[in-house]
A and B are shown apart, each in its own frame.
Chain A
Amino acid sequence: MNKANKAEKKTKAAISFHMKCAKTANGLTHFVMYGDVPKKKMPL
């Protein structure tokens, strides 16, 4: 095992998180779907 892999192994830790949308689902832009189109232009 090289040094980089060893370092990676050492830093691995358990992961857990939970998020909530600050806006309600109907206003999400995680991916723009029907009804979610922002009023203003967004950078592409």
Chain B
Amino acid sequence: MSNTRGISFSNIDAEWKLALDPENIFWSLLPRSNGEFMLPDDLISLYKKEHEHLDTEMRNFRFNEPLNCVYIDPTDRCNANCPYCYIPSKIRKHGKQMTWEQLDAALSKIADHFKGAKKKPVIVFHAAEPLLVKDILFQAIREYHGKMLFGIQTNSLLLEKKDVTFMKQYRVGVGISLDAATAAVNNRSRVSVTGGGNFKKAVQALDWFKGYEGLNVIATVSKYNVNKLSELVKFLHRKKVPCVLLNPVRLTQKRSWGLKPDDMVYAKNLMKAVETAMELTQKTGRQIVIGNFTNVILAIISPTARRMMCDISPCGGGRTFLTVTADGEMVPCGEFIGFKEFSGGNIFRTSIDKAMNSKPFKQIRERMVEKIDECDTCDFRHICGSPCPAEMYARGNMYKKAEFCEFYKEIIRQAFKMIAEDKVKYLLRKDSMDQMVMEYQY
């Protein structure tokens, strides 16, 4: 049997070549020297010394990370009608809403599940629009904040100034949905059911939060806004937003399929946005981070420190996080809300442990890059993770490579280039390096 493990080589640009063990992300950037690229023998020694430890680290990160986050959709209803929403429109119009008693019961069960755990679990109130039931959300935060950390993802249409004061007081993480720096572009995709869009309210929310440390903006990148990402970064920087995610539109519902931006156009514009963020950070001393690109950087320099669990295989769905829908069903991730066959049980009747060990959850955990054609031999398989299983299931086959495969390949190459150019310090938050320990450095 031949040994398939080892270091592979690929081009980053004319000046840099990448040497990488795709299995454990041991990497080295090799500069052109006298027209040649050379792998020094002491670097080979370093690889031999570290590769077993890196194998273990990657294995543990992929298969032994515990559940640490529960998304709760306290209502299936929404006051918006975004054309790419992954929740079927029928559910959003007539869906259920949790009562306080139900939300309390769900949180109580979650608290019991995490009793004795070293870390507090993270609870994120998410889609459809959680602020439709804000009274019970805020009651939950007041009652459970000693046991849990909270986040709220909102289109901000119902946000009031007093809500912002409350969220700041309880150190709630907040994600505001905003797709563009102008109403004309934003309101094409962030459509409210009463007409118009959320632009005005989202901008008002940013002004109210005024640089709050827990503030994020989440933009869904589609054909509509793909050419406007850099402008969005400039706008958000002026509004003192510390972090923005420029996430790809998920093609989980058919109506979103026509909105997919071209992979290379998206990659080019994302990198332009990253450059803009770096320039603004250097010029003003106030940082804005493109979270999804930073996650790629982390996947390379510190794989276990990455935060977004879509870009790892198996993904975090049904593994490090799960979603509780408004009627109590536990699904591996919110993207599966339209697929009843992926329910691992109902939180009002079933234990979280039982859901985690259910067949549908195992099915998602078993979806790995090793079983996907092309991904199985791709050098970047443990950096991108080939998202997303729900999206690919909706498109007919979960075991197909990522819809945005070429996009991921390009931004990963660009991430290596930025590491070679010593730009990491502009891409991570200033204080984050204090939390990092250098394990080895060539």
Contact = CB atoms under 8 A, between A and B. Distances in A.
Interface of A: 9, 12-39, 41-42, 44
B240 to A, nearest CB: 6
Interface of B: 15, 26-33, 39-40, 43, 46, 50, 54, 68-69, 118-120, 122-124, 149-151, 153, 171-173, 175, 211, 213-216, 240, 242-243, 286, 289, 291, 294-295, 298, 301-302, 304-307, 419-420, 428-429, 431-432, 435-442
Contacts of A29: 429, 431-432, 435
Contacts, number: 155
Given A30-B432, A38-B213, A44-B286, A16 B43 contact: yes
Interface of A is mostly: loop
Nearest to A23: B435
B247 to A, nearest CB: 12
Contacts of A21: 302, 304-305, 435-437
Given A16-B440, A18-B441, A35-B120, 19 more contacts: A14-B43, A16-B46, A16-B442, A21-B437, A26-B122, A30-B298, A30-B432, A32-B242, A33-B291, A34-B173, A34-B175, A35-B69, A35-B122, A35-B123, A36-B214, A37-B213, A39-B171, A42-B431, A44-B240
Contacts of A31: 216, 242-243, 289, 291, 294-295, 307, 428-429
23 contacts: A14-B43, A15-B29, A15-B420, A16-B27, A16-B29, A16-B442, A18-B26, A18-B301, A19-B301, A19-B302, A25-B305, A29-B432, A30-B432, A31-B429, A32-B215, A32-B216, A33-B243, A34-B124, A35-B124, A35-B150, A36-B173, A36-B214, A44-B213
Contacts of A22: 435-437
Given A20-B302, A20-B304, A33-B307, A26 B68 contact: yes
Contact of A17 (B54, B298, B432, B442): B442
A28 B432 contact: yes
From A16, A21, A38, name the one whose CB has the most chain B CB atoms within 10 angstroms.
A16
